[in-house]
Structure formats: structure tokens, C-alpha cells
């Protein structure tokens, strides 16, 4: 734990404590308090205007039970295979309820372990012979115990069964770490995208206009790598088409992809980007991106 960040920003202490002991608060009250702590402003749920306000509104009022399987990193694979095809699904070597059930002998030399119900429960193995099993066990077991939905009241995660999956280890076209290409989609229409890079060093986020791939100078939780460091992916148009198909009839969802030398792989579907708790800098982009989300689509959604 980085104690210094809490000393420099006492609000972070309150946020950390509230996320642990705020279980008795209603979802609405909890989100109002957390929003104020993150933004220093009252949460407007009656007529939300910003992106982050609308994310909080969606948490409370767009609770389609179908989303649970789409947020589950194992169950979503069946949906993706049926919707756009098996070739876009990252090969899965196994699924287990506990770390000690993992059949390491039958896993390849390189693989990735991840938990199905959270974010960050990830172990990358580039060489099985040198895998630190104690470290891997400790990290995975901590993630399995984590009630991921509590911090942001992201209810899509509440009923996901915590499990572990092993997937194929992927690299990008250069043979190095993957970039994440993330598309904000409204009812089947990709409206905005960003690229997550340097995730194993110091994560960078770079937003781009969906049609022109023009870099947007906005910060959201992480520093920017900059346009000169991010090339338009080879299969960009295919990603847009696939994101459209996967997000059909969903009022708002973020659809993520990886690009490798052999094509595109689906990453995950995220319904509440950054929990709706990360400011955009400059702030005007919170309003600009908020205009992309049409909350009236929630009542008209046919995604049953």
C-alpha cells in the first residue's frame, strides 16, 4: 500500500474507509457520498449531465440481470462466440474454483491467470518453470475473497461466482505487451475510444475520436502516452464493427479488444468505466462525453 498518497490526500482515507464499512448505506446514499468525495460536488441524479454522473445513474437504474454474465470473464466467452465467432475469443485452458485445483502440469509454458469477478486479479506467466507459485497463490486468493462490487456498487459484479481461468498469453504485433483498445458504445454504436498502454509499467490512457482517430488531449485517471506513441491499429475498422455487434441494444457498455499479429481478440465488457469516479481533465470533457450517453435508451432497451 502506498501510504504517502493517503497522507497527501486525506480524502483518500475517507474513501478507503467508506468502501469497507459503508455496506449499511443504501446504494443511492453511498454513491452520493462517494461522488462528493471524488468530485467535491453534489451528485445530480434527477438530470445528470456529465459522463460520470450518468455512470452513477446507470448503476442505480439499469440493472438488467443479463449484464452479470457479460461482466463475468468466463461466461461472456459463450456470448462472444455466439455473437461474433469463436476466433475472437482468447483460448481458455481451464476454469477452477480455487487456486489449488489448477492443473499446472497441463498448462503451457506461457499463460495468464485471472479471476472472473474483479479487476486486477491477474498473474502473467511468461515461463512456467520460473513461476513464483507462492506469489501467484497469494494474489489470486486475495482476489477471490474480494467483493469487487462493494467499492463502486457495481451490481453487475455482485452475483458473479469468483473463479479462476487460465488463458493464452498474448503479445502485440511487436512481440511486446498488449495494448487495450476500448470502445464506448451506445445501443450498438461505438461513439468514443481510448487506448490503454504500458500497463505493466505505468498505465497510460489516450482518447481518440472514433471516426478520425484524432488524439483527444484529455486525462482520465492516468497520464497520456501521446499521439506520436500510439499508432492506429491495423484492424481498427474491424474492431468498430465487432464492438457494434457486441453492444447491440445495450444503453451503455465499454467493449475492449486486443490486437495481435494474427488478428483481434475480445477483452471484456465493462458497464461502468472507472466506476464513474475518475475526473476528466479538462473538466469540460466530462460534459462532452456525457452527451454521448442517452439515458432514455434504458427504458427502450430490448436486451432481455
* Residue 86 pLDDT: 97
pTM: 0.91
CA trace torsion 274, 137, 97, 102 (10° rounding): 120
Task: Encode pLDDT of 79-137 as tens digits.
Answer: 999 999 999 999 999 999 999 999 999 999 999 999 999 988 899 999 999 999 999 99
Domain ranges of the chain: 3-43, 47-88+172-304, 91-169
The CATH code that applies to domain 47-88+172-304 is: 3.30.470
Q: Which residues pair with 301 in a beta bridge?
A: none
Cβ atoms 132, 125 nearer than 8 A: no
Task: Encode pLDDT of 135-145 as tens digits.
Answer: 999 999 999 99
- Does the bond joining 27 to the residue before it have cis omega, within 30 degrees of 0? no
Burial 278-291 (b: 16+ CB within 10 A, else e): bbbeeeebbebbbe
Q: Which three cell numbers stand for residue 111?
A: 499463460
Amino acid at each position: 500500500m502506498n501510504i504517502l498518497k493517503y497522507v497527501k490526500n486525506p480524502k483518500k482515507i475517507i474513501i478507503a474507509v467508506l468502501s469497507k464499512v459503508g455496506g449499511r448505506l443504501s446504494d443511492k446514499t453511498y454513491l452520493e457520498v462517494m461522488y462528493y468525495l471524488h468530485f467535491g460536488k453534489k451528485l445530480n441524479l434527477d438530470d445528470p449531465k456529465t459522463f460520470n454522473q450518468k455512470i452513477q445513474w446507470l448503476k442505480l437504474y439499469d440493472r438488467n440481470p443479463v449484464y452479470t454474465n457479460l461482466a463475468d470473464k468466463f461466461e461472456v466467452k459463450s456470448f462472444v462466440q455466439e455473437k461474433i465467432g469463436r476466433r475472437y475469443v482468447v483460448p481458455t485452458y481451464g476454469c477452477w474454483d480455487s487456486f489449488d485445483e489448477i492443473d499446472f502440469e497441463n498448462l503451457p509454458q506461457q499463460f495468464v491467470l485471472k479471476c472472473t469477478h474483479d479487476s486486477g486479479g491477474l498473474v502473467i506467466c511468461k515461463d512456467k518453470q520460473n513461476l513464483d507459485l507462492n506469489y501467484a497463490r497469494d494474489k489470486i486468493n486475495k482476489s477471490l475473497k474480494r467483493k469487487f462490487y462493494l467499492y463502486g456498487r457495481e451490481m453487475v459484479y455482485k452475483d458473479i461466482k469468483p473463479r479462476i481461468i487460465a488463458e493464452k498469453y498474448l503479445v502485440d504485433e511487436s512481440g511486446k505487451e498488449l495494448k487495450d483498445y476500448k470502445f464506448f458504445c451506445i445501443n450498438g454504436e461505438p461513439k468514443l475510444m481510448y487506448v490503454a498502454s504500458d500497463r505493466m509499467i505505468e498505465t497510460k490512457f489516450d482518447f481518440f475520436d472514433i471516426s478520425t482517430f484524432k488524439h483527444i488531449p484529455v486525462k482520465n485517471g492516468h497520464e497520456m502516452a501521446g499521439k506520436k506513441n500510439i499508432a492506429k491499429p491495423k484492424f481498427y475498422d474491424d474492431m468498430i464493427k465487432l464492438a457494434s455487434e457486441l453492444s447491440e441494444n445495450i444503453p451503455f457498455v465499454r467493449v475492449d479488444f486486443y490486437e495481435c499479429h494474427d488478428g483481434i481478440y475480445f477483452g471484456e465488457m465493462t458497464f461502468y468505466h472507472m466506476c464513474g469516479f475518475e475526473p476528466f481533465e479538462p473538466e469540460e470533457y466530462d460534459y462532452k462525453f456525457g452527451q454521448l450517453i442517452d439515458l432514455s435508451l434504458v427504458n427502450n432497451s430490448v436486451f432481455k
